[in-house]
Structure 1
Amino acid sequence: CCQKYSSTAKKLASKYFTKMKFRFCGDGDCPDWVLAEIISTLSVLSAQNLETLAGLVAKRIVGAQFEENAIKAITADLSNDGKSAVACIHFLLINASRHAVSESVFSEEIQQLGLPKEHAASMCRVLAANVTQIRQRLQDKAFRINELSSVRFIPPSPEQPDNTVGCVKFELKIAQELVDGLPEDTTHVLNIERANVEALLDELKEVRSTLQQYSWRQKDKTDV
């Protein structure tokens, strides 16, 4: 009965809040999944645990090592493995920092979304302590989506599938790729037709030449 009531409450809340605009969302709607996580997950944690968890997420945002064991310990009593809670906190901190909302506005808006006052205060303390670093991180990565950290050529092998004959295989490592809402270092293997690789190489050479010419022109202007 309680579970059914909770589900109904979420649906009603979702319909209500989709009509509202939030400054921490860039004066836009708050995603339904964030609203659901605030009501069903973040509010269930103690304010102290939420502050600790948010602090760990903030550290990860600015480039620190992801403390998975600590997060699992905090979220052990949740119905899932804590990934959705981390994804929600990540969204809240990133967007509040990106849109430069004040602590008072942030507190008011997340309370409107269902987070208790004490929990909202915990989130605000974490935001205040990390907002400068988060903004700097966002600026540094403004043009980086799923940052490519390395590329490795994989030599062909006798076990190579028939449908990849004539292809070139590469291993790509991606830094902080978002997987289920969480940043993870991932590895992908790609099979690319040799002709496409050669065309890509020619295009990259042209780009490098253009960038070098631009760099030289800028240097000449500086020297004048």
Structure 2
Amino acid sequence: MSFGSKFRFCGEGDCPDWVLAEIISTLSHLTIENLEQLTDLVAKRICEKPFEESKIKSLTSSLTNEGKTAVACIHFLLINAARYNCTENIFGEEIQQLGLPKDHAGAMCQVLKEHSPAIRQQLIKKSFKINELESIRDVTSPDETPPNCATLELKISQELVDDLPQDTTHVVNIELSHLKALLSELKTARAIMEKYENKEPPT
């Protein structure tokens, strides 16, 4: 990216261009109260706590895309600040460097301070659920599937796309011979896992 600094909340890396643009063009133009409430709602969403979707729509009614990019930006900021154990003071300084006014940054820091322990716990809970295969469906079609192949629809839960987790769907063609080999290997892996799961711990 063009902004040359490295940031603690980005793991000592660059801040993505789209986050920088969103901070300057959107977050900095929200009222401090609306930004704090929106950040709190996003934090609750990350922690899977109940909240009213209508409140997000109300707070972002003046924004384009129904505030989706603003929500995505706040989600990125909170998740990464918690993941890299960034203190509120450092987080506040860094988002000010990126163009967020001081009082706006203070409001976000207050929310981060309140929710960062719960966000970290949620990250630990989901640490093995990134790019998780949710389902497989056979969508083989005589007219569209290549010869000697099967067409599978794969649904991936929380696939990382542009540093943000999204539920995605992929359609792939696999040769039948490869599919049989893969199935055999998966059965072997499952048998090994079951062997260790059923093994009694030493006394």
What band does the TM-score fall into relative to the shorter chain? 0.7 to 0.9
Tell me if structure 2 keeps the 8 A contact 1:97–1:134: yes
Give 1:183 deviation, angstroms.
4.6
The structure with the greater share of residues assigned to helix is 1
Give 1:45 deviation, angstroms.
0.9
Tell me if structure 2 keeps the 8 A contact 1:83–1:181: no
Instruction: State how far apart, in whole Å, the 2-side matches of 1:214 and 1:65 are.
Output: 38
Instruction: State how far apart, in whole Å, the 2-side matches of 1:170 and 1:197 are.
Output: 10
Match of 2:13 among 28, 31, 38: 28
SS state of the match for residue 130, structure 2? coil
**In structure 2, what is the equivalent of residue 45 of structure 1?**
30
Q: Which runs of 5+ in 2 are unaligned?
A: none
What is the TM-score normalised by the length of structure 1?
A: 0.76
**In structure 2, what is the equivalent of residue 113 of structure 1?**
98
Match of 1:131 among 116, 121, 124: 116
The reply on whether 1:100 has 2:85 as its aligned counterpart is yes
Equivalences for residues 43-192 of structure 1 within 5 A? 43-64=28-49, 69-154=54-139, 160-177=142-159, 183-192=165-174
Tell me if structure 2 keeps the 8 A contact 1:87–1:181: no
**In structure 2, what is the equivalent of residue 200 of structure 1?**
182
Structure with higher Rg: it is: 1
Q: 1:183 to 1:25 in 2, by over 3 A?
A: closer
Deviation by residue 1:4-53 (Cα, 9 ceiling, x = unmatched) = xxxxxxxxxx74x41x2222122222222222211111101111111122
Number of corresponding residues: 203
Q: 1:194 to 1:63 in 2, by over 3 A?
A: farther
Give 1:150 deviation, angstroms.
2.7
Tell me if structure 1 keeps the 8 A contact 2:133–2:155: yes
Give 1:189 deviation, angstroms.
4.2
Which letter does structure 1 place at the counterpart of 2:69?
A: S
Deviation by residue 1:101-141 (Cα, 9 ceiling, x = unmatched) = 21122112211221112211211122122211211111122
Which letter does structure 2 place at the counterpart of 1:142?
A: S
Instruction: State how far apart, in whole Å, the 2-side matches of 1:186 and 1:25 are.
Output: 24
Instruction: State how far apart, in whole Å, the 2-side matches of 1:185 and 1:64 are.
Output: 19
What is the TM-score normalised by the length of structure 2?
A: 0.82
